[in-house]
Structure 1
Amino acid sequence: MDRPVIQYVAVERFVPVGYALSGPDSGVPLVICHGLGAYHMQWDAEARHFADSRPVLTVDLRGHGASAVVRNGRFEDYSLERMARDVIGVVQHCGFDRVDFLGNSLGGMIGLEIARLRPGLLRSLITCGTAYKFKLSPLVVWTRFAFYHLSGRRMPKIVARYATINKAMRPVVEEMYAVASRKVMHLIDRQIYIFDRLEVARAFKGPIVVLRGEHDTAINRYLDRSIDELKGKPDFRVIDLPGVGHFTNLDRPELFQRALEEALDHVAAVTKA
């Protein structure tokens, strides 16, 4: 399957959001959302694989990939709520009223925000590389800001080296971060260094599946606490991925796709019961 054609919808005036839709007309759609600085290219292999059996919708968050950078963008233009409303608008534009949602890192945060704003839109929530509650020091935000600017043209290569253990996938990461907006990443960093959607997850009535990468240590430090809090929730499940870091699907693509199939089979089983 060739790469699907990028289409656009302006959920908010003057902010066209890019998305790609592939697969059949039938089946529960799978919506996939990338992490900070990435875009739909991260999910090409998953889109090809899962579009054999269901619609697959990948969305670029505002300021990422094919989506517009807000002109003279300010802090509030990149809030989780506004980004989540963009994704909700794309889903509705495509005519879907109930979807399975997969998010990596920032994408998982967007999924949790959609669960807060429009829980009925989500049949299930699947996250990887996302902690449901954490609090970082503001120093982390400004250290990252310094890195974005002081690393210059080397930034994509440095990020690729440390973001994935799969050397074959490092060019993918480099390509994504070569076009990433440092300003946008900083504005979003300022939104998310304190994050808490644990109560949203507890209240969500559909299945939640966490795909936990063995070597995603920075996230797992906080994620493991969230998992302990959610263990008693009906239809909550954790699938461990050995030898995998933060870019979960790029580190071991075949392992990730099998885990995602297992997660979706779990969702289908418990939602039919």
Structure 2
Amino acid sequence: MEFIETNGVVLHCAIQRVEKGPPPLVFINSLGSDFRIWTGVCARLGDGWSTLRYDKRGHGLSEEGTDAYSIGRHADDLIGLLTKTGFDGVVLCGLSVGGLIALEIWRKRPDLVAGLVLCDTAAKIGTAQMWQDRIDLIRKDGIAALAEPVLERWFSSGFRSSCQEQVSGYRSMLVRTALDGYLGTCEAIRDADLTEVLQSITVPTLCLCGDEDGSTPPEVVMDMQEKISGSSFEMIEYAGHLPCVEQPDAIAQLLAQFVAKVHVQGQS
């Protein structure tokens, strides 16, 4: 566990380095979660990988900052973190809003990116009115007012019924997110549309989606994937919006295969 100041905020991160190996994997979390959602995936990948996990500003143990939130600011935070840690030529694995951040980093600093994994995300997520309605409700009643419908989108029906203790824990993660961090990131998603970026992507790209994702359903992710030249799509069975939690074995296997391919292409 480390704390690193960049772009005006102190970010909480976990870093694993190996001397030689495939490109580093950088994990970017969803709204209302912290980097612990990737714990199972990283455990299954093992020690032979360089990895960076971090909490976005206003999430987990990272500072909220005082500036207005935007996808560009979130991207600048991670660009600064990559610079300070010396990671480049990375594979960005962005989940939900993390996918928007990954796309923005590709737009701003393609030199840092060797590959993209866009997980349960889209270049534009939802509508401005949908996000404004969520913002207004949370300002009035708090994050807990939306906790149950969020959890229904996060997790498959089977997981919610059979893993109730874990669902309860992730509910705590959600509702304990800093209010300003959650609302600021909602505003960032509301205002973001990175559709034009998709046609510019020239690095290997893998798109993933849980088959029961209620936030960015498979057809939404597939529509994005079709706009990215040479990209591929994989459906994760028995998973909602956070397949890294429900199906860490499947995610780790797909990531290992994909990054190995990126590594081979980078050496050719």
TM-score of the superposed pair, with normalisation by structure 2 = 0.86
- Compare 109-118 and 168-177 and name the one that shifted more: 168-177
1:255 to partner: Cα distance: 2.1
Aligned ranges 1:17-28 → 2 under 5 Å:
17-27=11-21, 28=23
Q: What residue number does 1:200 align with?
A: 197
CA 1:205/1:104 → structure 2, altered by over 3 Å: closer, same or farther?
same
CA 1:123/1:144 → structure 2, altered by over 3 Å: closer, same or farther?
same
Q: Name the structure, 1 or 2, with higher relative contact order (CA <8 Å, separation 6+).
A: 2
1:272 to partner: Cα distance: 3.7
Confirm whether residue 130 of structure 1 aligns to residue 85 of structure 2.
no
Confirm whether residue 251 of structure 1 aligns to residue 240 of structure 2.
no
2:30 to 10, 32, 35: 35
Letter in 1 for 2:24: P
Q: Distance in 2 between matches of 1:152 and 1:107?
A: 20
1:175 to 160, 172, 175: 172
1:265 to partner: Cα distance: 3.1
TM-score of the superposed pair, with normalisation by structure 1 = 0.85
1:49 to partner: Cα distance: 2.6
Confirm whether residue 224 of structure 1 aligns to residue 222 of structure 2.
yes
Q: Distance in 2 between matches of 1:153 and 1:113?
A: 30
Q: What residue number does 2:7 align with?
A: 12
Q: Kindly provide the CA deviation profile for residues 23-75 of structure 1, in whole angstroms up to 9, marking residues without a partner as x.
A: 423322111110111111111112223242111110111111111012xx35x
Q: 2:216 is paired with a residue of what secondary structure?
A: helix
Quote the RMSD (CA, aligned, Å): 2.3
The number of residues matched between the two structures is 260
Q: 1:265 is paired with a residue of what secondary structure?
A: helix
Q: Distance in 1 between matches of 2:144 and 2:211?
A: 30
Q: 1:114 is paired with a residue of what secondary structure?
A: helix
CA 1:172/1:261 → structure 2, altered by over 3 Å: closer, same or farther?
farther
CA 1:121/1:91 → structure 2, altered by over 3 Å: closer, same or farther?
same
Confirm whether residue 82 of structure 1 aligns to residue 73 of structure 2.
yes
CA 1:145/1:206 → structure 2, altered by over 3 Å: closer, same or farther?
same
Q: Distance in 2 between matches of 1:201 and 1:51?
A: 32
- Compare 249-258 and 137-146 and name the one that shifted more: 137-146
Q: What residue number does 1:164 align with?
A: 155
Q: Distance in 2 between matches of 1:139 and 1:32?
A: 26
Q: Distance in 1 between matches of 2:41 and 2:130?
A: 35
Q: What residue number does 1:3 align with?
A: none
CA 1:229/1:123 → structure 2, altered by over 3 Å: closer, same or farther?
same
Aligned ranges 1:233-272 → 2 under 5 Å:
233-234=229-230, 236-272=231-267
CA 1:172/1:124 → structure 2, altered by over 3 Å: closer, same or farther?
farther
1:183 to partner: Cα distance: 2.5
In structure 1, stretches of 5+ residues that fail to align are: 1-5
Query: Is contact 2:155–2:213 with CA below 8 Å preserved after alignment?
Result: no
Q: What residue number does 1:189 align with?
A: 186
CA 1:228/1:206 → structure 2, altered by over 3 Å: closer, same or farther?
closer
Query: Is contact 1:211–1:259 with CA below 8 Å preserved after alignment?
Result: no
Query: Is contact 1:207–1:270 with CA below 8 Å preserved after alignment?
Result: no
1:158 to partner: Cα distance: 5.8
Query: Is contact 2:142–2:179 with CA below 8 Å preserved after alignment?
Result: no
Q: What residue number does 1:121 align with?
A: 112
1:210 to partner: Cα distance: 0.3
